[in-house]
Structure 1
Amino acid sequence: MPSLTLTNVRPWGGEAADIHVDGDRITAIHPTGRAEPTGERLDGAGAVALPGFVNAHAHPDKSWWGKPWVSYGGKATTQGRIAHEREYRDALGIPSVDSATAVLREYLRHGTTAARGHVDVDLGVGLRGIEVLAEASAALGGAVAIAIVAFPQDGVMRREGVLKLLDEAAVAGATSVGGIDPASIDRDPVAQLDGLFDIAVRRDVGLDIHLHDRGELGAFQFELIIERTRRHGRQHRVTVSHGFALGELDPARQTALVAELADAGISWATVAPPRSAPLPWRELRDGEVPLGLGTDGIRDLWSPFGDGDILRVALDFARLHGLRTDADLTYAVELATRRAAGFVHRDVHDLVAGARADIVLLDAQNVPDALVRCPRRRLVVAGGRVVAADGELRI
């Protein structure tokens, strides 16, 4: 790839600067006019520059995006959604390379350049979803970097053979294996978690466990995960996704659990759904518990909603948690960018020399203004390539 210089941009809404890119890396950032631009030169006209957005919890394999409209059906419970999806996904051709590619293209158009993809692995679909997502990512030349979680949507212990599939997925390249509601789906939390941690240890992969269970049942499962994380030495390799119960507990219980999560090095991913209880985000931040934002599914058999714009999810997070000050609004954007590096296995994801050249330009006064307006992305650079301009893809 030729070298590229983005001139007159404002990293994180600060002073005007030029960002120099060579290959897929940012090589330098200088005050505008301080150094001679190299390679292709693009004038940012004073736009705010942010790192590419990171989707820390996504299901890009199971969307019907790009297909005819599918009306919502089935029962609005976790078990009901699972059953409905299993009944109709084959008729809709899920998973498909075309739909997965279309979803990744929407991510990219909105500035998402990295995602943690939870890919269904079960007795019906096998590992096909992983193959589909790999092909979709390749079709875009890796512009959206994907970290794959092998996800047992239909449960683990209640379907004999799923643990074996998850183990095979870890061998096939999944960087994490997933779990789901060990108590209410499998009704055997000890067996599910012990099976998952066994794979994680033997294959040296991460764990990412969906927890929808509420109240004390959810909190009990947090405790089981914390204990096993410590026992097996998996600190900084385990994530809880959703974890609605944390927001529902009394403040003292929240504080104690957050301290335990921090000590065990467990991270947290949320999609900030509007009717959920707010998380104790200040305690999570101050305890240095990594917190990531995700879109969840987009136009799938669970929900017709979603457009792939993680900046809008950050706005939902800000509204749900009552964020108002400039510092707090900027924090919400940081959750969708540089603070999410670990969710896609990066040490650094930011506008700094040495980082992958994932850059988004927005017409905004500052970062809080960009969050509350979610303006069209003026330019998206992914791995050093200009992939979108003025909201339209170029690849």
Structure 2
Amino acid sequence: MTVILRNVRPWGAELTDVTLDGGVISALGPVPPAASGSAHAAAPAAVVEGAGRILLPSFSDVHVHLDSNRLGLPMRPHTGAPGVWGMMLNDRRNWRDAESSVSDRATNCLGAMIARGTTRVRTYAQVDVDAGLERFEGVLAARESHRDRADVEVIAFPQAGLLREDGSADVLEEALKLGADVVGGIDPCSLDRDPVRHLDIVFGLAEKYGVPVDIHLHEPGQLGLFSAQLIVERTKALGMQGLVTISHGYGLTDLPADQLQDLLDEFAALDISMTTIAPAGQPLPLQQLAEAGVRVGLGQDGQRDYWSPYGNADMLDRTWQLAFTSRFRADELIEHCVAVATVGGASVLDPRSRRLSSVADRPGLALGDPAELVLLEGDTVTAAVMDRLPGRAVIHRGRVVAEDLELT
């Protein structure tokens, strides 16, 4: 069915109508009321009253751990130990004792994300010798439950590393055999302490199963730079341009300016993308990344889990956090954060899709663009980010899937 979005403001511009057909934006401009019953005299049309709300591309959460969240469950004291290994062990001691199953928690969290405006997701699913494939299968079940409301990629993620426990690489490969969309890696130097072997396994599996790579990189300064350069080498050697993502990249903020620029130029040349969770104190240099032509997306990471009490399934909140931690005040830069959280993340998922060309670029609402959309309340885009009001409508593949923070 054709859908007409009546009286909406694309990226906060003047009021207009937007017509959706075949899962894409098919027309821009006023539609006579008489046409609402038979759009273009071809088929009946559904009308969504925009009531002057802002129309944006829907959010893309490209760094989330659906398998570990505790949204909707009672708050618990934070018991995590410092460091990735210590936090992982704390999660391992507790995740099976949650009040509901992985699949139920992941399904609930994914539904809440969709209701708040996210229709494109890349989620991690931990696979290791402790969990086996249980957490991975729980995330697959959540994806299936919401298959008509969002597009979800699942990363087989070796949170415990690949070399510290015998059999870790075997479990990772088993998840790929069962249909994982992406192969993950983590801190090749500081966690596994053998970056060559770690990356050989990750990129070897990527080549064998024809999947992209997504690597958590928490490593600081020169250590992070060393791991990033090894990732660059393998990306180039295997011809995996556009198929590799570095997540977090905390060490970039510690690098001298010339080293950082050289690395970003290498990322751009090989089309290596990045994702961030808008951390306090170590924000990615968004303006510099945009100038270099590096694709960047945003995600919520873990949400109220055994790693952190933060997170609420709302990418609009995380967009505010991205602007805040980046110390942005100008409307153009706050809107750039929205662009990163929407079409920026979409380009991480699909390097063939429209990507951001500068901090002033506002794509995603042109003729032929995917009908992945969200309506938000606000006088301006910046106001929508600051106020984060509940009057939203969420559209996936040209169909309304949520209204006023509730799934339809």
Question: Aligned pair in 2 of structure 1 residues 126, 29: CA closer, same or farther (>3 Å)?
Answer: farther
TM-score, length of structure 1 as denominator length: 0.94
What are the equivalent positions in structure 2 for 1:352-391 lying under 5 Å apart?
Answer: 352-391=366-405
Aligned residue number for residue 221 of structure 1: 227
Q: Is the 8 A contact 2:120 2:346 kept in 1?
A: no
Aligned to 1:66: 72
| Partner of residue 16, structure 2 | 17
The within-5 A match list for 1:21-36 is: 21-31=20-30, 33=32, 36=35
Q: Which residue of 1 aligns with 2:349?
A: 344
Gap change, CA 1:140 and 1:115, over 3 Å in 2: same
Q: For residue 164 of structure 1, what is the aligned residue in structure 2?
A: 170
Matched position secondary structure for 1:387:
strand
CA contact (8 A) 1:95 1:129 kept: no
Aligned partners of 1:281, 1:362: CA distance in 2, in Å?
A: 24
- The CA deviation at 1:53 is 0.4
Q: Give the Cα separation in 2 of the matches to 1:69 and 1:322.
A: 30
Amino acid at match of 1:17: T
Opposite residue 392 of structure 1, the aligned amino acid is: E
Structure 1 residues 95 and 176, CA, compared in 2 at 3 Å: closer, same or farther?
A: farther
Aligned to 2:187: 181
Please, which moves more after superposition, 13-22 or 83-92? 13-22
2 CA distance for matches of 1:133 and 1:24? 26
- 169-178 vs 179-188, greater mean Cα deviation: 169-178
88-97 or 115-124: which moved more? 88-97
Opposite residue 96 of structure 1, the aligned amino acid is V
Measure, in 1, the Cα distance between the counterparts of 2:369 and 2:130.
Answer: 40
1:1-395 equivalences under 5 Å are 2-31=1-30, 33=32, 36-37=35-36, 38=39, 39-92=45-98, 96-274=102-280, 276-345=281-350, 347-348=352-353, 350-394=364-408
For residues 251 and 260 of structure 1, the distance between their equivalents in structure 2, rounded to whole angstroms, comes to 14
> Which segment drifts farther, 310-319 or 102-111?
310-319
- CA distance in 2 between partners of 1:346 and 1:110 (Å): 25
CA deviations 1:199-228 (Å, max 9, x no partner) are: 111111111000111111111111111111
2:115/2:405 contact within 8 Å kept:
yes
Distance 1:9 1:77 in 2: 47
SS in 1 for 2:112: helix
Query: 2-side partners of 1:94 and 1:239: how far apart?
Result: 32
**5+ residue gaps in structure 1?**
none
- For 2:92, the aligned partner's letter is R
Q: Distance in 2 between matches of 1:76 and 1:352?
A: 46
Deviates more, 1:375-384 or 1:263-272: 375-384
State the SS of the aligned residue for 2:67: coil
Deviation track 1:236-269 (CA, whole Å, cap 9, x = no partner) reads 1111111100012122221121112212221110
- From the superposition, tell whether residues 229 and 386 of structure 1 become closer, same or farther in structure 2 (CA, over 3 Å): same
The answer as to whether partners of 1:341 and 1:347 remain within 8 angstroms in 2 is no
Whole-Å separation in 2 of the counterparts to 1:315 and 1:245: 23
Larger mean Cα displacement after TM superposition, 35-44 or 264-273: 35-44
The CA distance in 2 between the partners of 1:65 and 1:378, in whole Å, is 21
Question: Matched residue of 2:222: which SS?
Answer: helix
Shift of 1:23: 4.9
Task: Give the superposition deviation at 1:95.
Answer: 5.4
Alpha-carbon separation, structure 2, partners of 1:278 and 1:69? 28
Q: Per-residue displacement from partner, 1:308-365 (whole Å, max 9, x unpaired)?
A: 1112222212122222222212111000111222333374472234343222111112
Give the drift of 1:172.
2.0
2:359 aligned residue: none
1:44, distance to aligned residue in structure 2 (A): 0.7
For residues 334 and 35 of structure 1, do their structure 2 counterparts lie closer, same or farther at Cα, with a shift above 3 Å needed?
farther
Per mean C-alpha deviation after superposition, the further-off stretch among 48-57 and 319-328 is 319-328
Query: Which is worse superposed, 39-48 or 320-329?
Result: 320-329
Separation of aligned partners in 2, 1:35 and 1:8 = 15
- Give ranges in structure 2 of 5+ residues lacking alignment: 40-44, 355-363
Q: 1:32 Cα shift?
A: 5.2
Partner of 1:292, secondary structure, is: strand
Once the two structures are TM-superposed, the CA of residue 281 in structure 1 deviates from its matched residue by 1.9
Q: CA separation in 2, counterparts of 1:146 and 1:71?
A: 31
> 1:71 and 1:23 mapped to 2: Cα distance?
48
Give 1:14's aligned amino acid: A
Task: Give distance in 2, aligned partners of 1:377 and 1:332.
Answer: 21
**Would the aligned equivalents of 2:115 and 2:402 in 1 still touch at CA under 8 Å?**
yes
Q: 1:79 to 1:298 in 2, by over 3 A?
A: same
Q: 1:343 to 1:326 in 2, by over 3 A?
A: same
State whether residues 363 and 370 of structure 1, in contact with CA within 8 Å, keep that contact through their aligned partners in structure 2. Answer: yes
- Given that 1:378 and 1:389 are in contact with CA atoms closer than 8 Å, whether structure 2 keeps it comes out as yes
- Once the two structures are superposed, residues 286-318 of structure 1 have per-residue CA deviations (whole angstroms, 9 ceiling, x without a partner) of 111001110001111101110011122222121
Superposed CA offset, 1:55-83 (max 9, x none):
01000111122233322113132111111
Deviations 1:104-153 (A, max 9, x none): 11101210111110111111222232322222122224312111111000
Equivalent residue of 2:400, what SS? Answer: strand
TM-score of the two chains, using structure 2 as the length reference: 0.91
Change (3 A) 1:266 1:71: same
Root-mean-square deviation (CA), in Å?
1.9
